[in-house]
């Protein structure tokens, strides 16, 4: 008995050392990634906040200006124009694009045959490179492009897709076409994870397709839809690539989003201090949205 009691601390010590070795090796493996993460993400963020209080001048040197950059942003008429356009862009993304992935996922999941082919086809637009995507849709939306040619053949007047009223909607349409495939696969994975017993019970009770969708699928993916909604809001709040490539903020600033205005301020107007202040303001807004996203994600994990 005494021998067994004396051996227990030795065994515990060995187990403890083995765990420490695993923790050490694990730390060594992730250390390069942590260093790169700090160097290329957090260091630029803190430098941006630091330079937001300076007038950045590569010739005469930087000069501390306090809150002057923030005051300049608040007095600039483009601030409210860019915020309004960003909110419109986010709203159109929800109205025109948010509902397509779950609808396509439900339609694919209800197919009795060729589900694999349907999943591949739905994802293909996401594989199109951005430069090809924008060139292709510029041709689609052109005055003599295929869409207007088809409309004229059926007796409908030519549509100016890049007019001030339609430019943002046109951009949302092309981005929805490109990005709905990835979200569709996420929804399909969630639908596949629904217990088969529920479907079997519904079929025995004579439930229709709409009833299965309403009472089984939608309640099961409701939390996921909430998470993807918050994630889409975070993503669209940073939208500028399509606006820059397709319209450069025009016509008449109709597609000038906040991040595109920041890009123009930094690289066209060369006001890096003001651009840093704009980035800092957006950083804190996105932190709030990210906190909301994490709270919803934790709720979904508990559910």
Q: What is the pLDDT of residues 50-102, one digit of tens each?
A: 999 999 888 788 889 889 999 999 999 999 999 999 999 999 998 888 888 88
What gap in Å lies between CA 172 and CA 176, rounded to an integer? 6
Residue 298 has pLDDT above 50, yes or no: yes
What gap in Å lies between CA 294 and CA 230, rounded to an integer? 10
Residue 237 has pLDDT above 90, yes or no: no
pLDDT class for 263, splitting at 50, 70, 90? Answer: very high
Q: Residue 67: how many CA atoms within 13 Å on its side-chain side?
A: 4
What gap in Å lies between CA 268 and CA 264, rounded to an integer? 5
Task: Please state whether the predicted TM-score (pTM) of the whole model is above 0.85.
Answer: no
CB 49 within 8 A of CB 280: yes
Q: What is the pLDDT of residue 5?
A: 45
Convert the pLDDT of each residue in 136-164 to its tens digit.
888 999 888 899 999 888 888 888 998 88
> Where do the domains of the chain lie?
2-51, 75-302
CB 108 within 8 A of CB 115: yes
Q: C-alpha angle 186/191/196, rounded to 5°?
A: 150
| CA-closest candidate to residue 119, choices 129, 127, 128, 109 | 109
Q: Residue 259: how many CA atoms within 13 Å on its side-chain side?
A: 19
Q: What is the pLDDT of residue 61?
A: 80
37 alpha-carbon distance from chain centroid: 20
Mean pLDDT of the chain, nearest integer:
84
Q: What is the pLDDT of residue 72?
A: 92
Does residue 131 or residue 77 have the better pLDDT? 77
Query: Which CATH superfamily does the domain covering 75-302 fall into?
Result: MetI-like (1.10.3720.10)
């Amino acid at each position: 008995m005494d021998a067994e009691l004396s051996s227990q601390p030795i065994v515990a010590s060995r187990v403890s050392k083995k765990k420490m070795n695993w923790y050490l090796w694990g730390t060594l493996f992730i250390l390069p990634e942590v260093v790169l993460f700090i160097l290329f993400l957090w260091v630029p963020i803190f430098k941006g906040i630091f330079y937001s209080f300076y007038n950045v001048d590569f010739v005469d040197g930087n000069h501390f200006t306090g809150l002057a950059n923030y005051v300049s942003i608040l007095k600039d008429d483009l601030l409210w124009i860019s915020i309004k356009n960003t909110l419109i862009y986010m709203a159109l993304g929800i109205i025109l694009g948010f509902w397509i992935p779950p609808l396509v996922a439900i339609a694919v999941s209800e197919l009795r045959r060729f589900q694999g082919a349907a999943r591949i086809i739905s994802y293909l637009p996401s594989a199109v490179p951005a430069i090809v995507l924008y060139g292709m849709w510029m041709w689609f939306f052109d005055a003599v492009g295929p869409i207007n040619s088809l409309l004229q053949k059926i007796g409908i007047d030519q549509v100016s897709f890049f007019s001030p009223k339609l430019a943002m909607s046109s951009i949302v349409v092309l981005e929805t076409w490109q990005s709905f495939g990835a979200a569709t696969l996420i929804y399909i994975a969630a639908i596949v994870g629904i217990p088969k017993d529920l479907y079997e019970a519904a079929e025995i009770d004579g439930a229709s397709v709409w009833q299965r969708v309403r009472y089984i699928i939608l309640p099961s993916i409701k939390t996921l839809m909430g998470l993807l909604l918050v994630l889409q809001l975070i993503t669209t709040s940073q939208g500028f690539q399509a606006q820059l490539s397709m319209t450069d903020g025009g016509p008449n600033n109709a597609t000038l989003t906040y991040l595109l205005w920041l890009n123009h301020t930094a690289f066209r107007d060369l006001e890096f201090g003001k651009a840093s202040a704009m980035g800092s303001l957006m950083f804190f807004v996105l932190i709030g949205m990210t906190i909301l996203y994490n709270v919803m994600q934790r709720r979904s994990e508990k559910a």
